[in-house]
Each structure stands twice: as C-alpha cells, then as structure tokens.
Amino acid sequence: MEAKLIDGKKTAKEIKTELKLRVEKLKPSGVTPGLAAVLVGEDPASQIYVRSKAKACEKIGIYSEVIRRPADITRDELTGIVDELNKREDIDGILVQLPLPDHIDEMTITLLIDPAKDVDGFHPHNVGMMLLGHPAFLSCTPYGIVELLRRYDIDPSGKEVVVLGRSNIVGKPVGAMLLQKAAMANATVTFCHSRTADIESVCRRADIVIAAIGRAEFVKADMVKEGAVIIDVGINRIPDDSKEKGYRLAGDVDFEACSKKASYITPVPGGVGPMTITMLLANTVLSAERRAAKLKK
C-alpha cells in the first residue's frame, strides 16, 4: 500500500480562495476584516510567523496591523495595547504572539483579550465553549487538522484516534474536538504522552494517528497498522550536511516508512503547517461577519 498524500498547501489555497469571496461579500456593509498582531521582542521564529500572517491577510483582503514592542516592555504597557485593541471597531481579531518575555505571564495577557476577538482560540472562554460543544473560535492548528480530515472525506466517527502529545495548543484541543457529538467527530480518543506505558501498542490500535509530540521521526512503521490515517503535526530540524542550510525538516513521523502502510498521510512540510495560518484567517473573517451582522440590526 502507498499512502495518499493529504496536501495541506493545496487545501489551504482552496480555503483562502473561499475566504476571499467572503471578504468581498462584506464590502457592501462597509466591513473590512481586521487582524492585529502584537509582537514583543526579537524572536526570529515569531518574526517570520507574523510576517507570513501579514502576507496571507493581504492576499485575501484582510486589513493587517503588526504592533512591535521591545522585549523590556512592561506588563502595564502590554495590557494597555490589548485594551485598546479590544475597543477598536475596525479590529476583529487580536493575537499576541507567543512566547512572551519571562517577566510577563502569558495567561494573564490571554485573559485580557476579548473572547469575541480571540481568533487564536486560546482564551479559556473559547476553550471551555468548545469542550461543551458550543460555537467558539477553535485553536487554529487543531481546527486545521479537522478541516483536512473533512476535505479528504476521512470521517472520524466511530474510529479510534490516538493523539501523541498533550499540549494546550494542539494535543488536548484536537482530541476534544474529535470527541464531540458532532459532524467530523464522534471518535474514541486516546491520548499518549511521556508517561504512557507501551505507547507502541496503543498506536497500533489507531485508525487515525495524530502525532504532535515534538520528537523527530518518533512514529515508526511498526507502530501503525495497515491502512491507518497519519496526521503529522511535528516540525523538527535534523542536521544534514547535504542541504544548503545544513539541516532538513522532518515531522514526528518516519514518513518514508509509514507512507508504505498508511492509507493517508500528511507530509512535512506542506501538511498541517499551511493550515494553521489559514484557519486563523477563517476565524478573523467569521468575526468580521459577526460584526457586519450586528450592524444590520
């Protein structure tokens, strides 16, 4: 068996085309979706990520604003920025890029963001509403995973899903989403982590494996059953002198070996990664549509 590739890059492009049309439909109401990103410090990965978000916004017609501040910003200064963004009618989505400097508590800042503008889906209000099965902004990477399954007609209902990893950003929320009594859910979900005994045998039971453990090529072919669906969330740098940059990117799954047993598999890069920013855009457009609906009343 040779696995079919779940192409996140292609799917993300399709969704962006759909979002652009939705943005166009908002014009008669005088609403342009607005996304503000707050970037504190000079973290290189954060700088790249924020630039990518800004470019993606521009392509589909979302107004994008990046607020840059030095790493020695005080908590009160950052609080003031978030408060101001909460009040602005032209801003539909707010994200404070993580990580923040050590002297600022991330949860304190997250709690300050208006849940109606929390397009990252990190605010406890949105997390709690999602867990209860109510409408909420969904965390972008898990949302992207579920959307990939939907668009490739991979229905998790009645399937056994094993999630490798229990982070608040990916592992926990994606498991919770797939557990819901709803479309593209109704799965039996098992979480595996650093204290899981015999993780290999647990993985071998899975109809769908979601690897978000942060260990390069951790999932080997003997850990998955024939025909399993494999979603690889990991992105790791492996030293490789044959590459110009001196490294190659690899996921949490041994792609070459596992692709010979799986029915579907995501590549790294080009799988889950492109979906994260795309679902952030989707949340922002949804927020703008809600603003437009209020203006009509």
CATH classification of the domain holding 71? 3.40.50.10860
Question: What CATH number has the domain bearing residue 195?
Answer: 3.40.50.720
**197 has a pLDDT exceeding 80:** yes
Whether residue 158 is found in the same domain as residue 92 = no
Residue 288, both tokens: 């703008």
pTM of the complete model: 0.95
**49 has a pLDDT exceeding 90:** no
Domain count, the chain: 2
In this predicted model, what pLDDT tens digit does every residue of 65-86 receive, in sequence order?
A: 999 999 999 999 999 999 999 9
Summary mean pLDDT of the chain: 96
Structural domain span for residue 215? 140-273
Query: Residue 48: its pLDDT value, please?
Result: 86
| Cα distance between residue 83 and residue 65, in whole Å | 15
Query: Residue 44: its pLDDT value, please?
Result: 84
Query: Residue 4: its pLDDT value, please?
Result: 97
Residue 296 domain flag: no
Residue 181 domain flag: yes
Band of the pLDDT at 163, cuts 50, 70, 90?
very high
Whether residue 199 is found in the same domain as residue 235 = yes
Write the DSSP assignment of 161-199 as a string of letters: EEEE---TTTHHHHHHHHHSSSTT---EEEEE-TT-TTH
Report the pLDDT averaged over residues 170-180: 98
Nearby residues of 64 by Cβ (< 8 Å), 6 or more positions away: 34, 35, 36, 37, 53, 54, 57, 58
Band of the pLDDT at 245, cuts 50, 70, 90?
confident
Whether residue 269 has a cis bond before it, omega within 30° of 0: yes
Amino acid at 206: A
Whether residue 107 is found in the same domain as residue 155 = no
**108 has a pLDDT exceeding 90:** yes
Neighbouring-strand partners of residue 262: none
Band of the pLDDT at 265, cuts 50, 70, 90?
very high
Query: Residue 45: its pLDDT value, please?
Result: 82
Residues marked active site are found at 53, 97, 120
Residue 297 domain flag: no
Whether residue 109 is found in the same domain as residue 158 = no
